[in-house]
Amino acid sequence: MSATDPSEVVILAAADMPEKEPRAASPRRRARPEGLVRSLLRNRKAFAGLIILAGFILLALLAPVIAPGDPSIITGQGAQAPSAEHLFGTTPKGQDVLALTLWGSRSSLLVGFVVGLAATAVALLAGLTSAFFGRAIDNGLSLITNVFLLLPGLPLLVILAAFLPPGLGTVMLVLTITGWAGGARVLRSQALSIRGTDFVAAAIVTGEKSLRIMFREILPNMASIVMITLLGVVIFAIGAQAGLEFLGLGDPSVVSWGTNLYWASNDGALMSGFWWAFVPSGAAIAFVAFALALINYGVDEVSNPRLRSARRRPFGTGTEVAR
Amino acid sequence: MTAQPPTSRPQPGASPQGDPVISLRGLTKDFQVGGLFSRRTVRALNQIDLDVERGEIMALVGESGSGKSTIARCVIRLEQPTSGQIVVDGVDVVREEPRRASHEYRGKVQMVFQDPFGSLNPIHQVRHFLERAIRLHTGVGRRENIESTLEELMATVDLPADLLDTHAYELSGGQRQRVAIARALAMEPQVILADEPTSMLDVSVRIGILNLMRRLRGAKGISMLYITHDLASARYVADRTTVMFAGELVESGRSTSVMDHPAHPYTQLLLSAVPDPDRAGSYDPVERARLRNAVLHSASCPFDGDPNAGCSATEPVRHAVGDPADRHWVRCHMYRPSAEVAARALAADKSEDDDIAQPAARGKKA
Amino acid sequence: MTGITDAAPRNVLVVSDLSVEYRGEKRTTRAVDRVSFTIGPGEAFGLAGESGCGKSTAANAIMRLLRDPAVITGGSILFDGRDVLAMSPDELRSFRWREVAMVFQSAMNSLNPVMTIGDQIMDIFTTHEGMTKKQARVRAAELLDLVQIDAGRLKAYPHQLSGGMRQRVVIAMAVALHPTLLIMDEPTTALDVVVQQEIMAQIGDLQQELGFSILFITHDMSLMIELCDRMAVMYSGRFVETAEAKGLFANPRHPYTRALINAFPPMHGPVAELTGLGEGVRFTNIPDLVEVSPGHLAALDSAGTHDILGGRS
């Protein structure tokens, strides 16, 4: 098996014991490997990512407290640079950028996570079904998946958004439709790999029903890859939502990072160099994506011990002698 | 085809009682290999006729690629045979349950897999495997306390009951295999198929597992089909041994009889290759080549003139050997295996296509 | 002693008190614990033990192939009188493959699938000996001939050969530069019994012809008796017994050795029940080897028995 064989990734997560490591003098009962969550918290990258993400979520939840009132109300002079009164300055229209950014996080994060969950759920269902119900269904589902993968994403997004009534619901629907296929491929592959293991064969031989095998035998072994897929789709969703809204295809009345950017562009902030009007929202998107990516790296490292960064010195150069 | 007793003609080696728990007749399995432009059919099993009696351990020995695992996978219904009969406990399952095994069937026939590290799902505790088995097949209700049954099972396989609450990855290979055996036993099956259960275990724990199998046969009367490439363990644990070559059966009979007096050149070849400290330095390449040749192109058969079975180059005729009580038969030496099959199995050239019995090599299988 | 030239040939390998530890994040394990043995010129030394006993680690240590988290923490390795542990990376480069070569476990599966056999063998010659491709091809053909493979197979890819042939190619590659010591780590484990016997015979022939020493590592004791002159049995990082091969089989003194030998049911005689090593049995605090008869050492304590930790925890 290669280092990237998904089934090995998963099973190592549970056993945490590469085969070559000697059992010399080990007790018969090994210590329980810690769960995914706890080892994530120990991993530096994941921890950093979680902190940043938690920060953003906290700010989103506290937006009504920190910046009460409707953020799109004009509260000051247009296009003012950051000052004591308006920490992030004002938009060309005269709205408080800080308030807009804080309130914007609510919509962006909400859509991001809802789409993430929905798309991952669809991908998971497709992947598990493909793996488990036979060649005909697998071929059919693979065809559908491939069609969705091949369709160019942005034009599809644009067309769908243009034809459907504007609103957050549309955005979420559209992003889910375009976002599920990539995850489906990966999850199908992982599910198939697990399907071929002896323990699934043993479950079949024991007489377990198919659905039970799918959800109680195969799925729990896919935890880390499901998490990775989920985080990936969330990143996609936040970015794509911003993109749609920037193009004016979202709901302009909603306050979100993307619409903030849209209005900044529309009102000439970009042209005139009023950087404070668009940098906060843009930076926020970047930081959230960064945080999610860090968590993703962390999950990857935890599931596959070979990726851990600990002291990887070159091969056989003599540094291993410590007499 | 009705579910009558499979053959009317008395086979050499047929049991006096005539009520085998597993009876295979004409079992054939073909696999399609190759990509889009070069598909070809590989015949993994060719007209297998095999009986496993109640209360006996039958060993099925052969090299890798001989098809022995495929037989197990067909009987356990993880593979669909291309043709032939599989009669278990009097019921022709291929005919009665063509698409998938019934729940009842699962309760009758169980399997222990080769890889102790892969056959137990890492997320479950030992308790889970045994409990599911019990609940699914012995009519014990959800609320009933099955704790005592669990403890009994663990005791039967010589494991301490406190291991019930451990996870599979905390156990050694030998312990895992015992759990796998306990899971199979939990369903109170009539027959257990054991596919190389000790080949991935440390050498010093193998005997323990083999002894457990002997005990189960003796105490509980469970029949077993023990698949292995290791002749020594077959001799130790099995009542009868059947030798397989390139998807076909070549010899069968009481284990000691087959191994002490092998009648087929392939059996002789296998026996000569078993490492034996008392026989060190006996490898003779000339003799090896002669045996190989005899398997593929024998010019004569020592049983020529057998009144019960005339020699034939095209039909796999079986000649009786020695004492009838040993049920020892050998396939006629004159029989020519199909050129492709034989060349594949014994030739110096083999491509990876020949590991077709391994599901991983063939990709997914519905 | 003085004035007389020491005519005895120098030992090819002298390992003294070698210790290797695996330093993990949470705990440190001793994989090899004060192991000592010697291999003379042309001698075949067998190292028997089960998975996790440290035999592969010891072999890798000899060739300085260990990497994180393994660390050599004690002892010495002398090859032909030279201190292997003190060699610089440059010295190691010429040391490996020229003087010591290794056939790894499942080596036949680690041949490069996208290169022909010929190219892979030729690589050895062009890299280590600086030969031209033409010269290398000639040598490659000779090498295949040595292991009884038709030179026409130089153009074949690994997947076109059987497992046994691939293993012979790997062995040929290992002896390509005529090393003094050949280390073989479970070379026949993945092979069928018939092919296994042929490979063992091949190794014996090669040794006769080229005269190298062998360190043969396996869990199958009965393979060793044909090939090996001396043997050692390893458990949990320590040697529990070492002797001349035939002597070890005839008269095993340590219970673990006996368990390993008995693990193979006999092929003759009535079928009698064998007792294996119970699964709870662990040997702890293995004492140093003591001589129990000339040339035969076993890790028995002074009372001649051994502390066996039996039963369940």
pLDDT grade for A5, boundaries at 50, 70 and 90 = very low
pLDDT tens-digit map of C235-249: 999 999 999 998 998
Report, as an integer, the average pLDDT of B52-73: 92
With an 8 Å Cβ cutoff, are C276 and B259 in contact? Answer: no
Nearest of B13, B15, B54, B59 to residue B235 by alpha carbon:
B59
**Closest C-chain CA to B176:** C279
> By the CB < 8 Å criterion, does A322 face chain C?
yes
pLDDT at C2 over 80: no
**Two tokens, residue A138:** 């697998």
pLDDT grade for B345, boundaries at 50, 70 and 90 = low
A-contacting chains (≥3 CB pairs under 8 Å) = B, C
With an 8 Å Cβ cutoff, are A28 and C53 in contact? Answer: no
With an 8 Å Cβ cutoff, are C68 and A29 in contact? Answer: no
| CA–CA distance, C91 with C161 (Å, rounded to integer) | 35
Arithmetic mean of pLDDT over chain B: 84
Pairing mode, if any, of strands C44-48 and C213-218?
parallel
Q: What is the 3-state secondary structure (H, E, C) of chain C?
A: CCCCCCCCCCCCEEEEEEEEEEECCCCEEEEEEEEEEEECCCCEEEEECCCCCCHHHHHHHHCCCCCCCEEEEEEEEEECCEEHHHCCHHHHHHHECCCEEEECCCHHHCCCCCCCHHHHHHHHHHHHCCCCHHHHHHHHHHHHHHCCCCHHHHHCCHHHCCHHHHHHHHHHHHHCCCCCEEEEECCCCCCCHHHHHHHHHHHHHHHHHHCCEEEEEECCHHHHHHHCCEEEEEECCEEEEEEEHHHHHHCCCCHHHHHHHHCCCCCCCCCCCCCCCCCCCEECCCCCCEEEECCEEECCCCCCCCCEECCCC
> Is the pTM of the predicted complex or chain greater than 0.80?
yes
Report, as an integer, the average pLDDT of A237-244: 89
Handedness of CA C107, C110, C115, C120 (dihedral sign): negative
**Closest B-chain CA to C219:** B203
Q: Which residue among B174, B270, B350 sits closest to C194, beta carbon to beta carbon?
A: B270
> By the CB < 8 Å criterion, does A165 face chain B?
no
Range from A26-35, A94-103, C6-15 carrying the lowest mean pLDDT: A26-35
Contacts of A127 in chain B (CB under 8 A): none
Chains A and B form CB pairs within 8 A to the count of: 81
pLDDT at B131 over 70: yes
> By the CB < 8 Å criterion, does C302 face chain A?
no
Q: Are C97 and C177 in contact (CB under 8 A)?
A: yes
pLDDT tens-digit map of B20-62: 999 999 999 998 887 777 788 888 999 999 999 999 999 999 9
pLDDT at residue C234 in the model: 94
pLDDT grade for B301, boundaries at 50, 70 and 90 = confident
pLDDT grade for A193, boundaries at 50, 70 and 90 = very high
pLDDT tens-digit map of B217-247: 888 889 999 999 989 999 999 999 999 998 9
Arithmetic mean of pLDDT over chain A: 81
pLDDT at residue B13 in the model: 53
Range from A106-110, C43-47, C128-132 carrying the lowest mean pLDDT: C128-132
pLDDT grade for A12, boundaries at 50, 70 and 90 = very low
Q: What is the 3-state secondary structure (H, E, C) of chain B?
A: CCCCCCCCCCCCCCCCCCCCCEEEEEEEEEEEECCCCCCEEEEEEEEEEEEECCCCEEEEECCCCCCHHHHHHHHCCCCCCCEEEEEECCEEHHHHCCCCCCHHHHHHEEEECCCCCCCCCCCCEHHHHHHHHHHHHCCCCCCCCCHHHHHHHHHHCCCCHHHHHCEHHHCCHHHHHHHHHHHHHHCCCCEEEEECCCCCCCHHHHHHHHHHHHHHHHHHCCEEEEEECCHHHHHHHCCEEEEEECCEEEEEEEHHHHHHCCCCHHHHHHHHHCCCHHHCCCCCHHHHHHHHHHHHCCCCCCCCCCCCCCCCCCCCCEEEECCHHHCEEEECCCCCCCHHHHHHHHCCCCCHHHCCCCHHHHCCCC
**Which ipTM score applies to this complex?**
0.84
pLDDT at A23 over 60: no
With an 8 Å Cβ cutoff, are C29 and A322 in contact? Answer: no
**Closest C-chain CA to A30:** C27
pLDDT at residue B100 in the model: 85
C-contacting chains (≥3 CB pairs under 8 Å) = A, B
- Measured in angstroms, the CA of C226 and the nearest CA of chain A are apart by 28
- Measured in angstroms, the CA of B74 and the nearest CA of chain C are apart by 23
| CA–CA distance, B4 with B17 (Å, rounded to integer) | 15
> By the CB < 8 Å criterion, does B269 face chain C?
yes
Range from A250-259, B5-14, B329-338, C147-156 carrying the lowest mean pLDDT: B5-14
Q: Which residue among B175, B202, B276 sits closest to C222, beta carbon to beta carbon?
A: B276
pLDDT at B5 over 60: no
Interface test with chain C among A43, A313, A321, by most C beta carbons within 10 Å: A321
pLDDT at residue C306 in the model: 58
With an 8 Å Cβ cutoff, are A24 and C52 in contact? Answer: yes
Contacts of C23 in chain A (CB under 8 A): none
> By the CB < 8 Å criterion, does A318 face chain C?
yes
